[in-house]
Amino acid sequence: MMRYKGGNKVGKGTYWNLTNGNRVDIGHEGILPGDEKSEYSRIAPGLMLLMGPVYGLLYVLVLPFIVIASVVTLLGGKALDALMGLASRIVYFEWRPTEAYFSGRKKGQKERQKKDLNNKD
């Protein structure tokens, strides 16, 4: 199995782009479509047909792990959403960009005003 890049001049044969499944048949000599990132393999069509059942078997073997990973991801996301909802009830955040309290929070400011009034008397 030989590997070729897109834009290379190649001889007669069948070339497969395994990333997207495209097949390119070159009659005599030609240039493979695509850019330098496109990678083609020269594989005999019979060998490619034999690889189909192997890929199918691999898919069947990996499928249970895919299901387990999907369920764990789904349940983890639900648990994280529940925790974030609980945290949003506990932690209060309010952003008011037009207000500035240089002397502290409103509560502290009111207490200072009361102290100032008491000191004036």
User: How far apart (Å, rounded) are the C-alpha atoms in residues 17 and 40?
Assistant: 5
User: How far apart (Å, rounded) are the C-alpha atoms in residues 4 and 14?
Assistant: 12
Task: Kindly report, residue by residue over 39-85, the tens digit of the pLDDT.
Answer: 998 888 788 889 899 999 999 999 999 999 999 999 999 999 999 98
- Residue 26: which residues within 8 A CB-CB, separation 6 or more? 10, 11, 12, 13, 14, 15, 32
**For position 65, what pLDDT does the model report?**
97
Alpha carbon separation from 118 to 32, 88, 103, 114 (Å, rounded):
89, 39, 19, 6
**For position 107, what pLDDT does the model report?**
62
pLDDT band at 94 (very low <50, low <70, confident <90, very high): confident
The number of beta carbons lying within 10 Å of the beta carbon of residue 42 is 17
Domain ranges (residues) in the chain: 1-43, 56-121
**For position 119, what pLDDT does the model report?**
73
| H or E element in which residue 56 lies | helix 45-90
Task: Kindly report, residue by residue over 3-42, the tens digit of the pLDDT.
Answer: 888 888 999 888 988 888 888 888 889 989 888 888 998 8
pTM reported for the whole predicted model: 0.45
**For position 79, what pLDDT does the model report?**
97
The tokens for 7 are 């834009």
Task: Kindly report, residue by residue over 97-120, the tens digit of the pLDDT.
Answer: 787 767 655 566 677 777 777 776
Q: What is the mean pLDDT of residues 84-97?
A: 81
